[in-house]
Structure 1
C-alpha cells in the first residue's frame, strides 16, 4: 500500500532553485486536468453565506455529510487513483485524512490558477482542536498556522489560493498528523484561461 500512497507529485521544468517558477505564466493545458477542483467562489458562497474572515489558513470547518457527496475516485500524488469504495477497505480507520474535493473525485495534489478557492475535506476519527498548517514555498518559504475545531467524521473548509507558489497543507489533531495536500499555484498565460465562475 505504501508504494501507491507515496508517489511524487509532477515536476515542472521551470521549478528549480531559480525564481522562474514564481513568475512564469503557464498555459491552460496545465490547469485542465484539475478544473473540477477549484472555483472562483468558495463553498460558503455556494451555501448562501459569505466565507467568514478567519485570518487563518482556511475558513472555519463545518460538518460534511459524506453520504450526499461520495467521491467516485481518490487520487494520490502524481494521479494514481483508486475507487473510493476500494480506498475505504484499504485505509486505516483511525487516521486523519485531508483531501481536495472536486465535482466527482477527491485528490491530494492540484494545480490551480492564482485567485481561486479549493474545497478541502478532512476526515477525523476523534473531534477536537486541530492545528492547521500551511507552508508556502514561493520567493521565500512562509509558514502559516491556526487552530480550528473539528467535528468527528468529515469536515469541509475553503482554502484560498492567494499567492503563486507551492502550498503544502496539513493538520494535527490529538497528536496525529494528517497527510499533506499540495497545491501548486501559478499565474495563467492570459486571464481568459480562468474557468467560468
Structure 2
C-alpha cells in the first residue's frame, strides 16, 4: 500500500518525522503480523494496562486485515480492520508513543479508509474514545451515530463513529476481473503470482459434458 497520502495543508498536524521514511503495508506474513502485535502490546498492554485477553480478543484471525506502519523498517504503528456485509470496522489503532508527534495516526487511519473504499465499502465504523471525537470529525468528517448510547470497555468510554466511504471507479466488485480477485489483499493493481501462472498452458482441462 502507498502511504504517501496527501491532505490540504491547513489540516495537517505538524510533522516531526520524515514521512518519506514511513511505509504502511497489509500484513501478509507471520513476521509482519508479529510486528503489528508487538506494537499493540506496547501501546495497549504497556501504556493502558489492558489485560491480555481483552487486547487479543479472538478476532485477529477471523475476517480481519492488519495494517502495519514502519519507519525505516522499524514497526511504529498498527491497525485492524474487520469486514462485515455492508460496513468495515476500523479498530486497534496503535502508534508507539515516541512517534505520535506528527501525522502517523492520521496516515494509518487514512490508509485503512482507502483500503476499505477499494473493497467497495461505503461505510466505515470506528469505536472512538469520547476525548477523540474532534479528531474523527476534523480529519474524516465522521459523525457520531444518532440514537445510540455511548459504552465502556477496557476502562475507556466510547461512541460509535461513522465515516462515509467513497469507492474509486476501479473498486473491487463482483464484476472485477477474476485474475484481479486472485491477487493478494491490497495489491489488486499489481501483477500477482497467479497472473504469471496463467502464461502456462492448461494441462488439466475439464471434460465438457454432452
Give yes or no for TM over 0.5.
no
Question: For this structure pair, what is the TM-score category when the shorter chain's length is used for normalisation?
Answer: under 0.3
TM-score, scaled relative to structure 2: 0.23
Structure with a larger share of its residues in helix = 2
Higher relative contact order, chain-length normalized (CA < 8 Å, sep 6+): 1
Structure with a larger share of its residues in strand = 1
Larger CA Rg, structure 1 vs 2: 2
